[in-house]
Structure 1
């Protein structure tokens, strides 16, 4: 493999790995803030226990996301210097806002929240964790603004003397039509991830608590109440699981709505990506509507694709909002792109067709992952009614797969978004092959890719081990927060 292909693999590996942590951070920060706020309002001791318990898991994830995110910045200068030179004037502003405003906001107030128990007023302390969450959302907004420019470049002018894109309208970059639909889609999907994690962990702990209580009391655990907290651990975790399930289900519905809007914008600005998502090679003739294939087999390279299961006219609606709207096929879009971009100095490419199997299957894996997680959430709500806790053995794989499905759904979605845009690195302006660093050899990329991949493997083991250890340990017994004196020793909260 040459340096270009290796650089793409390295960016894919590091980006997908880093993005495992991002939606968990966004979603869990909101729910931790919710539990802490509930403690402040209702003074239910178990709300404070839940806030601290899930706050530990959130902090572990935040730390790993921070470490892996730094690598992303380095790669722009190391492996993609020509791309950085071309787009740096545009990317500099949103990435600077993300680092100097959003990230420092997250890290500062997270530190205050971790070390502030008993040292700052309770209302201010709760405000700190909400500001952490707001910081994560702002961080996502600025990062997505930069990525949306790659999908639909706006607010710039091309300087032929320097060969660079220059900022002309920063507000236009921040309000890119792709950005305005991508941001709510990503944020609601992140809430889905946070809800699924809370649901799975809490239901797992509720099942454990139910077994322990049944052995100790040899009776109905629903009446086993801890006088110190006012409710049993079973009831506490069951309540948290139901909250996580509600968040997962509601967020799943919002993801569907925002994804539908995003699909229509995508069809408008990147018709090739929508055609690739469906493996639609030929535009339907005579104004016919385009069907959506739930499953396609055989060759996706353009020779006789067979749609085994398809929904008539659904693709037309997804792409245009009309059941009889026209969605152009790959062949027609390719002809248009060749005529429009074929002679551009920065855009010349032998083909403008992306990897069809990657686009087609990642699009469906993304949708399927979300449907699966939402279905599990609905099942949890049904099975936990009337103070019940499902104890059947088949629940264990569901509790493992549901949060994993939401995280993988994010990854499938981003793989589709980025591979479906190929061969463009900035749509209509620069192809990926022209963005790679000319002075970086294949050997250089191999070395850094192997080192980072091995390092990420070690970090993954550490992350999972810490998660499992703290989940197994469970929440600490309730202790009434006391206001510390100024001369008391400051200690790490966890």
Structure 2
């Protein structure tokens, strides 16, 4: 491997790892805010215990996500200096907004939420978690705006004198057509993930049968998480359908690669499952739906979808002599096996997550809870254990496969149609340097994974412990703030 391959592996490993925490953070912040609001409205002690319980899990995830996210910015300057130089004028604005507005908003109000129990007016205190959630959503918006520029560059022009892309319209970057459909797709996927996490944790406690008088509370948490997962999954499907059509418009090669669609044709079929050689040139479609690829790409079952062969010839002529290409690019086709299978694994994991939510709602219906000592009796079967484990992992996997498909399917471009990935790598970084940092980051992230899992498991097992409720009516304004956990 050369430095380019190692740098790509390093960025892929650290980015996918970091993104495990992002949808959980966004989704769980909304759930915790919802539980806190329910407590303020009802003063139900069970809602208070659920708020504190899931708040602990949220804080653990937030901390690990923060630590792993910092590494991404270092890589831009160290392994991808030419890329950073090229897009710095465009990326500087949305990433600055993300740090100075969104991240400061969520981190500041998270501190107020953690230290504010019994110190802030209860409605204001509940509002701080909603502001944390708004901060996570805004953070996602600005980061996705930067990524959407890589998928469909707008609002900038290339300056041959400096060799850089220069920002000409910041609003165009923020309202990029790719951004406007990617953002709701990612956010609804995050709600789906957060709901599944809450659902799985509460299901585990119901199955254990030792609920310390919190049967109704855990049942509420299960059903709230399951409903959020199902409603969000509908948003994922709708936004994903629109995203597929935008993707076909701006990156037709990615859609063709997603199906290993080599020959241009109308009424193009979609294969749910295929076997054959890895590059897809000789494939046996075991399950195939006629016209579905045409519908996914253009909203018409009879529409024509360009094939890989025609697009390859078109791009070779269109991008010949690209000023941002050091070496002549001859292959504009992404890795077919990766794009083909990640696209299907993304959808498969998403639909499986929906199935777990439906099963959870079925298991916790009132008639089931009234029999066999509640849901524990209905969930004695061994397969429930595996479903509880799979429930939060499935949407996380769907998110990861979706991002792998999005980024691999854009290759060989790092900024689509403007700069190839090979041109973005730092020219002076050696193989030894990248190999060393790749090894160190992988080991550090593995250690962080152990810490994350141990903390999560520890606090999940403790459950919603009984704690004294804060008395917001008799606050000592001069008392020092105390960390809530």
Shorter chain as normaliser: what TM range? over 0.9
Match of 1:401 among 379, 390, 403: 390
Question: Which whole-Å CA distance do the structure 1 matches of 2:279 and 2:25 have between them?
Answer: 39
Question: Which whole-Å CA distance do the structure 2 matches of 1:57 and 1:20 have between them?
Answer: 14
Question: Which whole-Å CA distance do the structure 2 matches of 1:45 and 1:310 have between them?
Answer: 53
1:323 equivalent to 2:301? Answer yes
Match of 1:355 among 332, 335, 353: 335
Question: Which whole-Å CA distance do the structure 2 matches of 1:302 and 1:342 have between them?
Answer: 26
Question: Which whole-Å CA distance do the structure 2 matches of 1:143 and 1:491 have between them?
Answer: 33
Q: What is the Cα deviation at residue 478 of structure 1?
A: 4.4
Question: Which whole-Å CA distance do the structure 2 matches of 1:364 and 1:302 have between them?
Answer: 14
Helix, strand or coil for the counterpart of 2:153?
A: coil
Question: Which whole-Å CA distance do the structure 2 matches of 1:458 and 1:407 have between them?
Answer: 20
1:364 equivalent to 2:344? Answer yes
Structure 1 contact 115–493 (Cα < 8 Å) conserved? yes
1:469 equivalent to 2:450? Answer no
Q: TM-score, normalised by structure 2?
A: 0.96
Match of 1:486 among 477, 480, 485: 477
| 1:311 corresponds to | 289
Helix, strand or coil for the counterpart of 2:304?
A: coil
Helix, strand or coil for the counterpart of 1:308?
A: strand
Helix, strand or coil for the counterpart of 2:427?
A: coil
Q: What is the Cα deviation at residue 302 of structure 1?
A: 4.7
| 2:144 corresponds to | 144
| 1:334 corresponds to | 312
Helix, strand or coil for the counterpart of 1:485?
A: coil
Which structure 2 residue ranges, 5 or more long, are not aligned?
none
The residue correspondences of 1:184-223 to structure 2 (distance < 5 A) are: 184-208=184-208, 210=209, 212=210
Q: What is the Cα deviation at residue 481 of structure 1?
A: 1.1
Structure 1 contact 28–194 (Cα < 8 Å) conserved? yes
Q: Which moved more, 1:342-351 or 1:183-192?
A: 342-351
Structure 2 contact 23–194 (Cα < 8 Å) conserved? yes
Question: Which whole-Å CA distance do the structure 2 matches of 1:114 and 1:342 have between them?
Answer: 56
Match of 1:429 among 394, 418, 434: 418
Question: Which whole-Å CA distance do the structure 2 matches of 1:26 and 1:158 have between them?
Answer: 35
Aligned residues: 472
Helix, strand or coil for the counterpart of 1:490?
A: coil
Q: Which moved more, 1:477-486 or 1:319-328?
A: 477-486
User: 1:267-298, CA deviations, whole angstroms, 9 ceiling, x for partnerless residues?
Assistant: 000000000000001112xxx30000001111
Q: What is the Cα deviation at residue 327 of structure 1?
A: 0.9
Q: What is the Cα deviation at residue 299 of structure 1?
A: 1.3
Structure 1 contact 45–478 (Cα < 8 Å) conserved? no
| 1:102 corresponds to | 102
1:171 equivalent to 2:164? Answer no
Helix, strand or coil for the counterpart of 1:161?
A: coil
User: 1:96-151, CA deviations, whole angstroms, 9 ceiling, x for partnerless residues?
Assistant: 00001000111000000000001111111011000000000000000000000000
Question: Which whole-Å CA distance do the structure 1 matches of 2:59 and 2:280 have between them?
Answer: 48
| 2:428 corresponds to | 439
Q: What is the Cα deviation at residue 41 of structure 1?
A: 1.0
| 1:93 corresponds to | 93
User: 1:235-293, CA deviations, whole angstroms, 9 ceiling, x for partnerless residues?
Assistant: 21011101101111111111001000000000000000000000001112xxx300000
Helix, strand or coil for the counterpart of 2:305?
A: coil
Structure 2 contact 280–336 (Cα < 8 Å) conserved? no
Q: What is the Cα deviation at residue 399 of structure 1?
A: 0.5
Question: Which whole-Å CA distance do the structure 2 matches of 1:101 and 1:487 have between them?
Answer: 30
The structure 1 segments of at least 4 consecutive aligned residues displaced by more than 6 Å after TM superposition are: none
Match of 2:258 among 259, 277, 283: 277
Q: What is the Cα deviation at residue 306 of structure 1?
A: 1.8
Question: Which whole-Å CA distance do the structure 1 matches of 2:8 and 2:418 have between them?
Answer: 18
Q: What is the Cα deviation at residue 472 of structure 1?
A: 0.7
Which structure 1 residue ranges, 5 or more long, are not aligned?
214-225, 227-231
Q: Which moved more, 1:251-260 or 1:302-311?
A: 302-311
Q: What is the Cα deviation at residue 333 of structure 1?
A: 0.8
Question: Which whole-Å CA distance do the structure 1 matches of 2:437 and 2:470 have between them?
Answer: 47
The residue correspondences of 1:27-66 to structure 2 (distance < 5 A) are: 27-66=27-66
Question: Which whole-Å CA distance do the structure 2 matches of 1:302 and 1:467 have between them?
Answer: 41
